[in-house]
Amino acid sequence: MTESIDDKIIKKIKKAKGGTVFLIDDFLKFGSAKAIGKALERLVDTGEISRVSRGVYARLKKHPLFGELQPSAEEIAKAIAKKDKARIVPTGVLALNALGLSTQVPLNLVYLTDGSARTIKIRTQTVKFRKASPRNLSAIGPVSGLVIQALKEIGKDQATENEIRIILQHLKSEDPYRLRHDIKLAPEWIRVIMRKALQTDNHE
């Protein structure tokens, strides 16, 4: 008996762990985009999969007390980037938030990417992937890359002593080789701040 598109999709979904995000593109080998879209909507109706945004679906994690857990906007952004084999870098308030420099929950999550530019609405938040030059995506340090974007958001000569202290504290956990590499990618005024982390730890 020939399997239906729905059956093929369910089989693939059930092999994935909870929290896995799916796009229509993940199932195109089973049929046309239109047919896949309709099949996924049927599976949403039966509870086999959850629709988290337009064209974005997930097999939800299950918590023993709280039940099904919706993936966060950040988790969805990372999953999309992974599927696109694209690099992404958090910018703006998102970068500040990640470093503890802001308690504001960003409604617009903006990522620089070398993948496709797109905007996705996820509940009350919007995720934007903004096409960027290779240089802006060349940071190899997870912390130092965030610091560069956070300082760009704060602006030249606008960082307070407390913000600089927090930034330097974070940079202490960065690998010195990665930090040296990423310093070269930053504007000179940001380099001046980041170099202090190397001097503090006697890496130079």
For 30-41, what is each residue's pLDDT tens digit? 999 999 999 999
The yes-or-no verdict on residue 22 having pLDDT over 60 is yes
Binned at pLDDT 50, 70 and 90, residue 204 comes out as very low
User: Using CA atoms, how far apart are residues 47 and 14, in angstroms rounded to an integer?
Assistant: 13
* pLDDT exceeds cutoff 50 at 203: no
Q: Per-residue pLDDT averaged across 8-24, rounded? A: 86
pLDDT digits (tens, 9 = 90+) for 124-149: 889 999 999 988 999 999 999 999 99
High-pLDDT (> 70) share of the chain, %? 97
| 61 against 186, higher pLDDT | 186
- pTM surpassing 0.75? yes
Residues 106, 104: Cα–Cα separation, whole Å? 6
Which pLDDT belongs to residue 201?
A: 52
Q: Which residue has the higher pLDDT, 121 or 17?
A: 121
pLDDT for 200: 59
Q: How many CA atoms lie within 13 A of 18 on its CB side?
A: 8
Q: How confident is the model at residue 106 (pLDDT cuts 50, 70, 90)?
A: confident
For residue 1, the model assigns a pLDDT of 55
Task: Convert the pLDDT of each residue in 46-78 to its tens digit.
Answer: 888 889 888 889 888 777 787 778 888 888 898
In the predicted model, is pLDDT for residue 5 greater than 80? yes
Q: What's the rounded Cα separation, in Å, for the pair 151 and 187?
A: 10
User: If pLDDT is split at 50, 70 and 90, which confidence band does 82 have?
Assistant: confident
- Distance, in Å, from the CA atom of 6 to the CA atom of 195, rounded to the nearest integer, reads 56
Pick the CATH number of 5-69 from 1.10.3720.10, 3.40.50.1820, 1.10.10.10, 3.40.50.1970: 1.10.10.10
User: What pLDDT is stored for residue 71 in this prediction?
Assistant: 83
Q: What is the pLDDT of residue 122?
A: 86
| Cβ atoms within 10 Å, residue 123 | 10
- Residue spans of the domains in the chain: they are 5-69, 73-136, 138-200
